[in-house]
Amino acid sequence: MKALPNKIVIVGGGSAGWMTACYLARAAELTGSFSQQTLHDQQTRHSAQGCSITLLESSSIPTVGVGEGSTPYLRHFFAYLGVEESTWMEACNATYKMGINFEGWNKSDDSPPSRTPSYFHPFFSALDVPTAEHYFTAVNQRRHGQPSNISESHYFTAAEMVRQNIAPNTIVDSANIDYAYHFDAGLLGEFLKHYATSKGVNHKVGNVTKVPTFNDNIQAIQTDLHGTLHADLFIDCSGFRGILGKKALNRSVTSYADTLFNDAAVAIPTKRSDIIKYQTRSVALRHGWQWNIPLTARTGNGYVYSSRFCSSVQAEQELRSVLDEGTNLKNTPARHLKMQVGRLNTHWAGNCLSIGLSQGFIEPLEATALMLVQYALHHFIDCWQQPIPDTRKHALYNNEMNRMFDGIRDYIAAHYYLNTRNDTPYWVACRNEMKVPDTLAYLLKEWDRGANFEDALNEVDANLVYLRPSWYCIFAGMRRFSPPTGDRVVETLNPHQMLKDILRKMQKPNTETC
């Protein structure tokens, strides 16, 4: 494995900065770039000989710090670091996540609250293969006018585990259940900081004052407290500000604002739930959606909305009104955030790599932010190892990162375009004014005309990040169907009972279903 650059400087802390520091410190350790030495306090840490990593973090600029959900990809991150799941979860007030329940996204004007439609987007596991095939068949029957059972909870392991409140750590390891996490973002940053510094990452607190550049390269970083910092590789983790990539190197941005209208959020925590459900709730509100995320110490809540249709004051009032069910939240402060939705066109060129919010952001609907950080790091290491000229490495990297961002955007956009709400101009605009991405437009056309959806997915496979089960779940969950005309299909098998039987067999001894 090729050694990393001799000297790396990361600008910015937060989740992205410290994830980057951890990942690269571990990669350097695996390449033999780091060696161990014993300190005077008898603790053992790693110090860089062939590779030194410095993280410069501002004391005056706060991190975003409200991200509280992940995809299953995060499991691989901690496995790569060699950190036990129970260790970091306990430190970060983390809970398990089996998927996302979408509530009210296709609510009609006259639907009473008790009848608000919902659907579940599960994480797909190998255990689902037998029953999921029945789901795909049922959905395609429904597409062609035949009434059929298309409830995700009857076909997918994750949905049934949420229904029964079965934690994934009670399932035998051989089942290879796919799952993710909820966590306290602030505590996660602190945990990663401790890991990185224990591996020899040099932590400096200060601000960037000037960044002299030449072509695509940063010559150095001038700081207020630490003089001039030189490096072979500079990594921009400075968030939406993009101190290195956007500002110093003037890298161009592709905006998603004409497709994804949400550009702001407000967050208010509430007390811990008595019963922790292993799911994120995404509840459609008047001008966007509310997240509800259970942690062991509190519940995370937020409202992601479009400032074109709703002011920050109105958004906070609406969020407080849906949260304040017998609980006085007047003294609980709200945190307001602005979002820049889009991506850089060039993520890596010369000696500067942009990671995290500095390279792009797609709103938090499917909790993909940390996944993109992790994927960007993994892909960087892969490209760095290639025995090809740097310009080709950069091209490979940038093309793949742009594909990832655009592919996630396509799936996120589907949630809004498929809504059937007419209660506010916001939801109507999501259908009528959105610039529909080409891949999504093609899948919609093929779905609506009754074509073979498997063939349609295969046709655009190179553009997809979300795969077959996810696309079926969102199209069916949002009820993208004409009214049924045929007789109800008689099921010869009971997929839901099959699913329950599979789960019962896969539970570890001495564990019970809640």
Return the active site residues. 97
Pairing of strands 52-57, 202-205: parallel
14 assigned to a ligand binding site = yes
- Amino acid sitting at position 493: L
Token digits of residue 308: 């074109």
Check residue 356 and report its DSSP letter: G
Number of H helices, E strands in the chain: 14, 26
Instruction: Consult the annotation and say whether 15 binds a ligand.
Output: yes
280 bridge partner residues:
100
* Cα–Cα separations (whole angstroms), residue 12 to 61, 205, 335: 9, 10, 21
Residue 181 in contact with residue 70, Cβ under 8 Å?
yes
Q: 292 has which bridge partners? A: 281, 301
Cα 391 to Cα 216: distance, rounded to the nearest angstrom: 11
Span between the terminal Cα atoms of the chain, in Å: 47
Taking the C-alpha atoms of residue 37 and residue 469, their distance in angstroms, rounded to an integer, is: 49
Answer whether 295's CB lies under 8 Å from 94's CB.
yes
Burial 342-366 (b: 16+ CB within 10 A, else e): bbbebbbbbbbbbbbbbbbbbbbbb
79 in a labelled binding site? no
Ramachandran area for residue 478 (φ above 0: left; ψ -120 to 50: alpha; else beta): alpha
238 annotated binding-site participant = no
Q: Residue 357 annotated as binding?
A: yes
- Interior angle at CA 66, CA 61 and CA 71, nearest 5: 125
Nearest by Cα to 247 from 281, 273, 208, 285: 208
Question: Token digits for 261?
Answer: 């209208």
Q: Which amino acid is at 181?
A: Y
How far is residue 107's CA from residue 355's CA, in Å, rounded to a whole number? 37
13 annotated as a binding-site residue: yes
Q: Measured on CA atoms in the order 15, 158, 465, 301, is the torsion positive or negative?
A: negative
Q: Which residues have a Cβ under 8 Å from the Cβ of 352 and sit 6 or more positions away?
A: 216, 217, 218, 233, 234, 235, 236, 244, 245, 248, 249
Binding residues: 13-16, 97, 208, 357, 366
Binding residues for 7-chloro-L-tryptophan: 97
Binding residues for FAD: 13-16, 208, 357
Binding residues for L-tryptophan: 366
